[in-house]
């Protein structure tokens, strides 16, 4: 069998030095670095993220629950009023 760098799970070359097995040119590394940089977010993306964070706070969620409960109560009250008007 040959004495390859990764044979039998050994990541070291036969002479004891570390072998990564990947050779890249300088222009390739520049392309990779450029692709890995963070892209600037647009104004609408930042606004959407802030709005999402704000809407998921406990205070806003409690307020939405209270308002929906009040709305449901108003709808039930209107239905009861309509039934009383029609029967009276």
| Domain contains 60 | yes
Alpha helices in the chain (DSSP H): 26-36, 43-55, 58-87
Check whether residue 48 and residue 30 sit in a common domain: no
| pLDDT reading at 18 higher than 70 | no
Check whether residue 53 and residue 31 sit in a common domain: no
Q: What 3-state DSSP class applies to 18?
A: strand
**Is the pTM above the cut of 0.75?**
no
| Domain contains 22 | yes
**Predicted pLDDT of residue 83:** 96
Check whether residue 57 and residue 81 sit in a common domain: yes
| Domain contains 2 | no
Domain span at 63: 43-87
- What is the number of structural domains in the chain? 2
């Amino acid at each position: 069998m040959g004495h390859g760098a990764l044979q039998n799970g050994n990541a070291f070359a036969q002479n004891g030095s570390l072998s990564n097995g990947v050779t890249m040119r300088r222009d390739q590394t520049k392309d990779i670095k450029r692709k890995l940089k963070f892209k600037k977010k647009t104004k609408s993306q930042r606004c959407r993220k802030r709005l999402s964070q704000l809407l998921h706070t406990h205070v806003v969620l409690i307020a939405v629950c209270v308002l929906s409960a009040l709305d449901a109560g108003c709808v039930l009250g209107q239905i009861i009023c309509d039934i009383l008007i029609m029967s009276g």
